[in-house]
Amino acid sequence: MRDTRESRLLLVLLIAIAFALITVDIRGGEESPVDGARQAAATVFGPVENGVASAVNPVGNAIGAVRDSAARHDRVAALQRENTALKQRLGSDDRNRSRVRELDKMLKAAGAGQYGIKGAQVIAIGAAQGFSWTITIDMGRNDGITRDMTVINGEGLVGRVTTVGPNTATVLLANDPGFTVGTRMEKSDELGFATGQGDRPLSVQLLNGKAKIKKGDRLVTFGSSKDKPFVPGVPVGEVVRVDPSGGDLTRTLSVRPFVGFTKLDLVGVVVEAPRQDPRDTVLPPKSKPTPTPTVTVTVTPSPDGNTELNPNGEADPEAVGAVTGETPAPAVADGRTNGQAGDRLPGGGDARPDGDDPADEQE
């Protein structure tokens, strides 16, 4: 169609008619005069629209799926990241709770012994220069740590500081074969020296070879001069075996340490010694042994109190005598017991045992 004056007038006329119909439809509301025309158009063109939509929608959905696949993939990846972060948070929460319990035990032990401590975290295990049982902590000279300080945790003695750097320090563990500490027995105050044996129990040499020691007795540190390298009263371990003395001047004990050296995390470096020896106050209360259940068997006596039955279910006279403590008298020829009057003999005499004849009595 060419752009002519007539075509322009026709376009303007159609636009004016359209605006007029829209105005009439709006003002008419539900009773609009064009409502019938609208319903007729819907009846005619509705099926056509449905058919076109059925043909076009699959293509449109496919295009939309391709367009949204990238966004959906990003959403799945975001959900996976959130899930991983949540799992890590839950795991870290469990670890934090465990560390809080460990720190609480260590603070209680330090309070019981009046030790001034600085908390540190284990950041490495083992020493680069050898095969010693050592750990590295995240505190050093800048934190006030010096050589030969005692290291503890909530269970007891961990070791002593051997090497100090600006921000880290090396701790020799109490189970190292080169580690030795003076010990004192709980209550008895017997003195000795504990030496590490790696993954085996500590070996303790008591100075008194005749000391009375039993399994389950506990030891604490005796303390050093000027409280270095060991402060007094730190729990060391529990006796698990006592070797026979054999007349030696010393006595050897096997002691299981309280500290688990393979699962260290938080430790405390004693930077201030107690004013007085805490003695045995840092030791935890002894666990009470579980009582062994006992079984009581009650035997119901027979009605007469003495009667016992033989295998045939009849009363056993001999058993009755055994129960009552009486000895049954021997029976004589006529079946009567001794001491009963016998039957008359044909000659007029009584049946008596030998030695009971009246003539013999007269003589």
User: pLDDT > 90: what percent of the chain?
Assistant: 42
Q: Is the pLDDT of residue 191 over 80?
A: yes
Measured at the CA of 18, the angle between CA 13 and CA 21, to 5 degrees, comes to 125
pLDDT for res 345: 43
The rounded distance, in Å, linking the Cα atoms of 167 and 169 is 7
pLDDT bracket for residue 130 (50, 70, 90): low
For 289-322, what is each residue's pLDDT tens digit?
Answer: 666 676 776 766 655 555 555 555 555 555 444 4
pLDDT for res 23: 75
Alpha-carbon separation of residue 166 from 122, 125, 141, 145, 269 (angstroms):
16, 18, 5, 9, 15
Mean pLDDT, the chain, as a whole number?
77
pLDDT bracket for residue 34 (50, 70, 90): low
Q: Is the pLDDT of residue 115 over 90?
A: yes
Q: Compute, in degrees rounded to 10, the torsion defined by CA atoms 269, 275, 276, 280.
A: -20
Q: Mean per-residue pLDDT for 346-354?
A: 46
Q: Is the pLDDT of residue 354 over 60?
A: no
Q: Is the pLDDT of residue 224 over 80?
A: yes
Does 338 or 268 have the greater pLDDT score? 268
pLDDT for res 248: 73
pLDDT bracket for residue 346 (50, 70, 90): very low
Does 52 or 126 have the greater pLDDT score? 126
- CB neighbour class for 105 (10 Å; exposed up to 12, middle 13-18, buried from 19): middle
pLDDT for res 320: 46
pLDDT for res 362: 41
Half-sphere exposure of 340 (CA within 13 A, CB side): 12
Q: Is the pLDDT of residue 82 over 80?
A: no
Q: Is the pLDDT of residue 335 over 50?
A: no
For 230-269, what is each residue's pLDDT tens digit?
Answer: 999 999 999 999 988 766 788 899 999 999 999 999 999 9
Q: What is the pTM of this model?
A: 0.56
